[in-house]
Structure 1
Amino acid sequence: MPDEVGRRERKKQLTRQALVDAAVRLFTEQGYDRTGVADIAEAADVSKRTFFLHFAAKEDVLLADSEARADLAVRAIEERRPDAPMREVLAEAAARMIDNTTAGDLPAGLAALRARLVVTTPAVQARVLHTTFTAQARIAAALREAYDLDDITSASIVGALMGAISAAAVTSLQLGEPPERTRAAMQQATEIALYYPEISTTT
């Protein structure tokens, strides 16, 4: 039974990745607005029904790993050692998210495509903003619980960190820089957000 469950999960992940790859290719070749769910499903050799088992809408393909990245950040906070300074924990949370992006969205071209579409396509912009807000709220809630902060403080700290990382990544991608430079930009943004100005770790 465990082997069968593992095979099903691997097949599910392969199908999901095939949909992402097909969407990236079609959005790039024929444009976002001219590409429909049926086109993506056909290019991935699956049915529309299968597409909707993985994604609610075509713009969600551009955010395929967003929830997983938020999970990584939340776990970094929840799994901290009891005496861990806030800055150290936030740095670990950011590192996990950056590693995930570097392993997936950057080499797949998904991050660059999303950066282009978010400034030209209202549907993508709205979905990215909604997804970003949801992720920040989850991470802020975990930080608030971990360090007994008030809502505004936790939201401000997380917003500053994630906003810096996102802005650095988008700028790097719009400049056409390679994945390693985009990764370095996100790491630099983390340092700036956490150390300039300093975040109190005694709260």
Structure 2
Amino acid sequence: MGEELGRRERKKQRTREALAAAAVRLFERQGYDETTVAEIAEAADVSTRTFFLHFPAKEDVLLANVQVRVDIGLHTIAGRRPGEAAPDVLARAVEEMIANTWRTDLPSGMAGLRAGLVTSSPAVQARLLQRVLAAHAELAQALRQAYPEELDEVDASALVGAVMGAVGAAGLTSLRRGDAPEQVRDAMRRAADLAVHRR
């Protein structure tokens, strides 16, 4: 039973990756607004119905790996080390999330494409903002639960907002100026360090 579940999950992940890769190719070739969901599905060799089983809307294909990264952050916070301070566990969670971005969105071109569309497409901008706010709320709640004696809701939200805001702003700036993936990753790491340690 567990093996069958694992196989299904891997197949689902491969389909999501194929849809995301097809979307990147089409968006770059013919433009975001000009590309339809049906074209993305066809390029990934699946039905339009299958697309919507994986992504609620076209904008969501640009955020294919966001929940994976949030889950990585939540897992890291939940598994905090004995005596580890809240800023340190958050810094470690963010480092793991950046590593995932390095393996997925940066080499695929998804991060650069998303950065460009954030300024040119109101639909993408709105969906990204909505998803970022939801991710911040999830991470802040996890941090608050991990440190109930040290952090209240405001403190946890402020800490997550400061770190994630810094990382997002640095990554976006680095992408917009055309930096190589390594430079984008390093900019995000520097931003996290600056936000956590103020140096």
- Fold shared by both chains (TM-score > 0.5): yes
1:185-196 maps to which residues of 2 (within 5 A)? 185-196=187-198
The one-letter code of the counterpart of 2:47 is S
1:179 counterpart residue number: 181
2:32 counterpart residue number: 32
1:64 counterpart residue number: 64
Report deviation, 1:3. 4.1
- Counterpart Cα distance in 2 of 1:166 and 1:195: 17
TM-score, structure 1 as length reference: 0.93
The one-letter code of the counterpart of 1:187 is R
1:109-120 maps to which residues of 2 (within 5 A)? 109-120=109-120
- Counterpart Cα distance in 1 of 2:98 and 2:42: 32
Q: Which residue, out of 152, 166, 170, partners 1:164?
A: 166
1:82 counterpart residue number: 82
Report deviation, 1:77. 1.1
- Counterpart Cα distance in 1 of 2:8 and 2:158: 41
Report deviation, 1:131. 0.3
Higher mean C-alpha deviation, range 3-12 or range 143-152: 3-12
Aligned length: 197
- Counterpart Cα distance in 1 of 2:11 and 2:145: 37
- Counterpart Cα distance in 2 of 1:3 and 1:143: 33
Partner of 1:118, secondary structure, is helix
**Runs of 5+ unmatched residues, structure 1:** 198-203
Higher mean C-alpha deviation, range 157-166 or range 138-147: 138-147
Report deviation, 1:154. 1.0
Report deviation, 1:172. 0.6
- Counterpart Cα distance in 1 of 2:183 and 2:10: 31
Report deviation, 1:150. 1.6
Kindly indicate whether the alpha-carbon contact (under 8 Å) linking 2:87 and 2:159 is maintained by their aligned counterparts in 1: no
Higher mean C-alpha deviation, range 12-21 or range 164-173: 12-21
Higher mean C-alpha deviation, range 89-98 or range 145-154: 145-154
CA RMSD of the aligned region, Å? 1.2
1:130-145 maps to which residues of 2 (within 5 A)? 130-145=130-145
